[in-house]
Structure 1
Amino acid sequence: MEDETGYLSNEVFGIEKFRLCQEGVCNANLARRDIVCVMPTGGGKSLTYQLPAILTSGCTIVVSPLISLMTDQVLHLDEFGVSAVMLSSAVSHAESRKIQAHLYAMASGECAPKNEVKLCYVTPEKLGQDKNFWSLLNKLYEARKLARFVIDEAHCVSEMGHDYRPHYKDLGKLRTVFRKVPILALSATCPPKVLQDISRTLGLQYPPKRGAEAEPEGTVYFSAPLYRKNLHYSVLSKPNNFADAIKVTREFILNKHRNQSGIIYCLSKKDVEHVAKELASESNGQIRTGIYHAEVPDGRKAQLHREWREGKVNVVCATIAFGLGIDKADVRFVIHHSKSVEGLYQESGRAGRDGKDADCVLLYNPKDADRVFALTSSIPQSRGKLMDILRFVQDFEGCRKIFFANYFSVSAQLSVEEWTTEETAALDPCGHCDNCTRAPGSVKRVDLRLPAWQTLRAAEDIKRCGARLTLRQLGELVRGLGRGKVNVSGTRHKRTKGSITIAMDELAGGKVQLSREETEMLCIHLLIHDYLQEEFVPNKHTTNTYLVPGDKARRFTSLARSDVVEKGLGPKLESAFPVTGKRKAAAKDPGKDGVQPPAARAKRKRPTAPHPGERNDGYDEAVAHEGDDIDDITYVHRRQGTDVGGTIYVHHKQGNGRNSPIVIEDSDEGDDDDVEGAEDGIEGDVEAFEDDVGDIDIEDEDGSDEDWSFSLRSARPLKRTRLQPYVELPMRRAPVDDDVISIDSD
């Protein structure tokens, strides 16, 4: 039996040797035992029932929660010449009738063994609602053509499981009606309480016996360790500008993984297509890309699978569905934009299945949090999962393996001992992730108490004035950019014609003395710890995310600056930031003929000299306004016609003298030429800088896209100092032994 399974795994699936507990599960399958198999992402769970299905007479029924997963599995099996079908809402009535007729032919003995359907994929809803399908199953059972039930993602059975599906509860009838048909329950994570729930619902023996201790009858339990030492995790800083992000990705692939297989996971179908196109173009065809998402036709998906396996495509840009059912062993890198730690762990399971080294790189920019918040705002428990992945990416000191071990011990109630290997204990550092290999002195610890207090004071003042800012806008405001000017929004159909000026000198004793990246990471830090919180404003096109003071903010901001600076009062807020050095700005990337593209030339704004009192802040390429000599924040009431019924807040004076009069700025009369099309956010009065910041792209409440430009008045620009955004490529590391652990949701 062992020789036969080994031969077929190589002959049919191209697998030279079994991994982890695959062989044991296959043998238990062929012995018609009930089985619970817990194997993490990348372990090759699908092989444990697909291979026995080929060797067994009759049809194996696979219950899966995802139509996309079933589609991929059927395509995958079809390529290997294995007869597999799918019955779901995605299948036409005509095709469904054809499939069921084939299965009825099997039950009546009219189908030759070589033409039998070996695997039939169905959703739990199909089993729960289709009485005709139950009648078909009964016919197959009576004809002894019902080989096995496979319950994929079995944790969905349990209400304590993280993806509970009510229709999974109906699967208990399978054991009641078809008592002699063995059941295989598969899951990537299965804590003790969930295992007990699964066993009770499916009618399996509890507790199941582990493979080595199995008795002649009863349920057999198989599991595999979670840690894979050949996967090297790292976080790579992503530039603000899309074109620059593509260049960083291109350089990473060409420098470290030229002509090697990889996957880039994107957040949306639009991103998938855009990234694939630009990456191929930027590399002059050296990176051969393919796309994969739900709207790609099945025929094209099958073609992509073949081209990727044959090396005609080496990088697949995809949504998270890609990889389910795919078993390409030599994936050398995965680039992530994950919305959760579970997602990151699952996606990374596609890499290094041959046991050789592979890089798992999460591209991260703090402002991406705004977008992910908006994408997941309607999903229950999404905020907690997003906060956890933000903790992961903003950790520049802790071992990634230890983070995973601690995280899953809480979120999935898995013992940290699941991360123990023969070489290392569960909480020993891995020694090969980006944080474990980071050079001494490349990270600095920063006391964030004062900048946090300053940021929260500004956030409270902004909220009091009726304004709203995104993460990026808040970061620029507290650093003194835009001269502190903020527009006040009215309702969707009625807008206030005016602005306020937030004077950081008066409000918080000065601006925040951090770089742009550090300030944005500070805002994320405050979000994680509930000093800031999100406010969502939906419109007809999207959902905008703004930052407002959180539950903990008021107690902190009630302290005086002297309490924070001199007495050290307030919460202890400390974080590690990468150490970056100043360098000259990189030259503009020319077009293919060495000439800057016309579009880039057209976008350039004419630099002008700064307003009196402005200087380079030493932390960014923009020139920031220091603010005039202001004694007190003054609030001035003024009616501006029928469209305005409120208060305009003015925080600055006309002129430089101490006794200069306070004036009101009317947006119809004052600095309209300083801002192009601006209605919400910070009004710009700083020099254009396209390289790293560019135009701020803000979605208004009514869904309109508004481009923001920065400009200064007068003749000549000041000399500017630039800092390169933090970018750290994963370090070269010593080779790791090949006897590794792997993981997968297939």
Structure 2
Amino acid sequence: PWSDEVCEVLKSRFKMKGFRENQFQAINATLSGKDCFVLMPTGGGKSLTYQLPAVIQSGATKGVTVVVSPLLSLMEDQVQHLSKLGVFAFLINGDTPREDRDRIMDGLWKSNVEDFIQLLYVTPEMLGKSEKMLRAFDGLHRRRKFARLVIDEAHCVSQWGHDFRPDYKNIGEVRVRYPGVPMMALTATATSRVKDDTIHNLGMEKHGENRCQVFTQSFNRENLYYEVRPKSKGSQDVAAIASLIKESHAKETGIVYCLSRKNCEDIAASLAKDHGIRATHYHAGLEGPAKAAVQQEWQAGHIKVIVATIAFGMGIDKSNVRFVIHHSIPKSLEGYYQETGRAGRDGKPSRCYLFYGYGDAGKLRRMIDDPKNEGSREVKDMQHQMLRKMVQYCENKSDCRRVQVLAYFNERFNAEDCDGGCDNCLSESTYEEIDLTAEAKKAVDLVRKIRKDKVTLLHCIDVFRGASNTKAKAKKHVELDEAGAGSHLNRGDVERLFYQMIGEEALVE
């Protein structure tokens, strides 16, 4: 019954000509009062699936659409954008001035609330801790003015996701508090396990006619090119990034992802001072006004390169990002997919580079095992497994990058369709498959014999290749039968053999 109104609002209010894949179906489902799980790749148009229904008052449920999101910058962006389109959209978070918050809260109690507030964005923390807000939502529910509850970045609900957030776990309880209010969960990245866990945790597992409607589509981003490059030592890594930007992306907009806040600050400073690139850092430690200033400068194009932490969800909807560079490997292929997905949202060709050094994997392993890192042993084991898959992706120099990434999301892809869209498909190198089972067994035997001497991975590789350096002689490692068992292989192949065995857990670092 609302189809005509939906199409009219799309054109008149949102200034769009037509729907993308699954948008109309998801909008129709939520307006029918059904629960929905919407999985769309970055740039697929997830936001419209709840922003447009918020304006329609002829659906099965009416009133206010409440959106829960962890990404402050994205929420601020969207509220500004929607306000310009004439949509009554507001945001409440910890930084909202008291008078603004009081005005919004008063609006929620009005009998014709939809004439004042159509969309309300809140953080998961506010939803869990603000009793005043929950009382206002109770009032909406009683008056049948709670149109729907939308969970953005829904993978944060699942402990198996790459970005689990404890505050998100409580959203399921909020769901129980408001029976009859349809829920919509959205994400750009979720494996089958994360999807099922999210639906379960949010209490969306209904059966029969009321079952949760799931909308998924291909994860393939056709306009993105993927490449892995070896990482240089010391300050040379920044020089390599700078020359890449200058040679291939001069005057273009991009993001560089780093492992830590300090990395961000150092690399941004070096790119700007030593290499003349208009770059600045952006991470969770910045004060609100500083963040807003950086965002505005970047959106306006005054800053060309943002250097950000991997852990920080930028959530900035900038469509013309032409390149994403990872200075260090992400913790998982899910994270990598989401971060590279910030490139080329306008559909134009864009490039994704990952600078890979095995040492970064060691740092991430230590971060996972750090006692300060909350999580059960089971969760930490899962994080190690995700990291191993990320390392295998970087070490793999022969298989199509797209095939590898999409396989992680249980999607099959024909490498011929990549059409030069990654470094491995473009490479003219030929690789020969050889059986190294015998060498692998000897490598394990060698490590078993010398591990009591507290040796490093590099020392094991040296001894295996037959090096007779001072340490190897002093510890009498050169006299072992397995010493030199890999002397017929080049160093790169031996390193890959050891890394692969660590990846398969035949060895543990």
Counterpart of 2:106, as a letter, is A
- Report SS of the residue matched to 1:352: coil
Provide the residue aligned with 1:270 in structure 2.
262
Q: Which of 434, 438, 449 is matched with 2:423 structurally?
A: 434
| Residue 429 of structure 1, CA deviation | 5.1
- Report SS of the residue matched to 1:20: coil
- Report SS of the residue matched to 1:327: coil
Distance 1:193 1:389 in 2: 17
Counterpart of 2:451, as a letter, is K
Does the C-alpha gap of structure 1 residues 383 and 170 become closer, same or farther in structure 2, counting only changes over 3 Å? Answer: same
- Report SS of the residue matched to 1:503: helix
| Residue 169 of structure 1, CA deviation | 3.1
Q: Does the 8 Å contact 2:465/2:483 carry over to 1?
A: no
The number of residue pairs the alignment matches comes to 479
Provide the residue aligned with 1:699 in structure 2.
none
Q: Does the 8 Å contact 2:141/2:178 carry over to 1?
A: no
TM superposition score normalised by structure 1: 0.57
Q: Does the 8 Å contact 2:224/2:344 carry over to 1?
A: yes
TM superposition score normalised by structure 2: 0.80
Q: How does 1:83-122 map to 2 (within 5 A)?
A: 83-87=89-93, 91=94, 95=96, 98=99, 100-109=101-110, 116=117, 118-122=119-123
- Report SS of the residue matched to 1:109: coil
Does the C-alpha gap of structure 1 residues 518 and 366 become closer, same or farther in structure 2, counting only changes over 3 Å? Answer: farther
Does the C-alpha gap of structure 1 residues 231 and 149 become closer, same or farther in structure 2, counting only changes over 3 Å? Answer: same
Does the C-alpha gap of structure 1 residues 276 and 300 become closer, same or farther in structure 2, counting only changes over 3 Å? Answer: same
Provide the residue aligned with 1:299 in structure 2.
289
Distance 1:315 1:274 in 2: 14
Confirm whether residue 63 of structure 1 aligns to residue 68 of structure 2: yes
For residues 541-589 of structure 1, the C-alpha deviation after alignment (integer angstroms, 9 at most, x for no partner) is xxxxxxxxxxxxxxxxxxxxxxxxxxxxxxxxxxxxxxxxxxxxxxxxx
Distance 1:190 1:458 in 2: 38
Q: How does 1:166-177 map to 2 (within 5 A)?
A: 166-176=169-179
Provide the residue aligned with 1:136 in structure 2.
136
Q: Unaligned 5+ residue runs, structure 2?
A: 84-88, 374-379
For residues 655-712 of structure 1, the C-alpha deviation after alignment (integer angstroms, 9 at most, x for no partner) is xxxxxxxxxxxxxxxxxxxxxxxxxxxxxxxxxxxxxxxxxxxxxxxxxxxxxxxxxx
Confirm whether residue 77 of structure 1 aligns to residue 78 of structure 2: yes
Q: Unaligned 5+ residue runs, structure 1?
A: 209-216, 410-415, 420-424, 488-498, 535-746
Counterpart of 2:506, as a letter, is Y
Counterpart of 1:382, as a letter, is Q
For residues 463-491 of structure 1, the C-alpha deviation after alignment (integer angstroms, 9 at most, x for no partner) is 24x3332x33443454455724169xxxx
Counterpart of 2:184, as a letter, is L
Does the C-alpha gap of structure 1 residues 172 and 505 become closer, same or farther in structure 2, counting only changes over 3 Å? Answer: closer
Distance 1:267 1:346 in 2: 16
Confirm whether residue 38 of structure 1 aligns to residue 39 of structure 2: yes
Q: Does the 8 Å contact 2:254/2:321 carry over to 1?
A: yes
Identity score, percent? 31
Provide the residue aligned with 2:215 in structure 1.
222
Q: How does 1:527-546 map to 2 (within 5 A)?
A: 527-534=502-509
- Report SS of the residue matched to 1:532: coil
| Residue 130 of structure 1, CA deviation | 4.9
Distance 1:275 1:17 in 2: 42
Provide the residue aligned with 1:698 in structure 2.
none
Q: Which of 347, 351, 358 is matched with 2:343 structurally?
A: 351
- Report SS of the residue matched to 2:418: coil
Confirm whether residue 391 of structure 1 aligns to residue 392 of structure 2: yes
Does the C-alpha gap of structure 1 residues 18 and 248 become closer, same or farther in structure 2, counting only changes over 3 Å? Answer: farther
Q: Give the stretch that moved more between structures: 305-314 or 184-193.
A: 184-193
Does the C-alpha gap of structure 1 residues 350 and 5 become closer, same or farther in structure 2, counting only changes over 3 Å? Answer: same
- Report SS of the residue matched to 1:274: helix
Counterpart of 1:376, as a letter, is I
- Report SS of the residue matched to 1:9: coil
Q: Does the 8 Å contact 1:484/1:504 carry over to 2?
A: no
Does the C-alpha gap of structure 1 residues 303 and 96 become closer, same or farther in structure 2, counting only changes over 3 Å? Answer: closer
Confirm whether residue 238 of structure 1 aligns to residue 231 of structure 2: yes
Counterpart of 1:235, as a letter, is V
Q: Does the 8 Å contact 2:43/2:346 carry over to 1?
A: no
Q: Does the 8 Å contact 1:154/1:185 carry over to 2?
A: yes
| Residue 524 of structure 1, CA deviation | 0.7
For residues 132-173 of structure 1, the C-alpha deviation after alignment (integer angstroms, 9 at most, x for no partner) is 432221223345553321123445667887759642431331
Q: How does 1:279-358 map to 2 (within 5 A)?
A: 279-283=271-275, 285=276, 287-322=277-312, 324-336=314-326, 337-358=329-350
Provide the residue aligned with 1:523 in structure 2.
498
Counterpart of 1:467, as a letter, is K
Provide the residue aligned with 2:186 in structure 1.
186
Confirm whether residue 366 of structure 1 aligns to residue 341 of structure 2: no
Distance 1:221 1:458 in 2: 51
Q: Which of 471, 488, 492 is matched with 1:485 structurally?
A: 471
Write 1 or 2 for the structure with the bigger share of helix.
2
Q: Does the 8 Å contact 2:157/2:201 carry over to 1?
A: no
Q: Does the 8 Å contact 1:231/1:357 carry over to 2?
A: yes
Provide the residue aligned with 1:547 in structure 2.
none
Q: Does the 8 Å contact 2:38/2:185 carry over to 1?
A: yes
- Report SS of the residue matched to 1:62: strand
For residues 78-136 of structure 1, the C-alpha deviation after alignment (integer angstroms, 9 at most, x for no partner) is 5436443234xxx26xx58545522331134399977647323131x654565443222
Distance 1:190 1:340 in 2: 12
Q: How does 1:505-654 map to 2 (within 5 A)?
A: 508-509=483-484, 512-534=487-509
Distance 1:271 1:234 in 2: 22
Does the C-alpha gap of structure 1 residues 453 and 160 become closer, same or farther in structure 2, counting only changes over 3 Å? Answer: closer
Does the C-alpha gap of structure 1 residues 254 and 513 become closer, same or farther in structure 2, counting only changes over 3 Å? Answer: farther
| Residue 511 of structure 1, CA deviation | 6.8
Distance 1:271 1:247 in 2: 14
Distance 1:479 1:192 in 2: 41
Q: Does the 8 Å contact 1:85/1:117 carry over to 2?
A: no
Does the C-alpha gap of structure 1 residues 202 and 506 become closer, same or farther in structure 2, counting only changes over 3 Å? Answer: closer
Q: CA RMSD in A?
A: 3.7
- Report SS of the residue matched to 1:36: strand
- Report SS of the residue matched to 2:408: helix
Does the C-alpha gap of structure 1 residues 17 and 300 become closer, same or farther in structure 2, counting only changes over 3 Å? Answer: farther
Does the C-alpha gap of structure 1 residues 228 and 108 become closer, same or farther in structure 2, counting only changes over 3 Å? Answer: closer
Q: How does 1:458-497 map to 2 (within 5 A)?
A: 458-464=446-452, 466-469=453-456, 471-479=457-465, 483-485=469-471
| Residue 204 of structure 1, CA deviation | 6.7
Q: Does the 8 Å contact 2:158/2:201 carry over to 1?
A: no
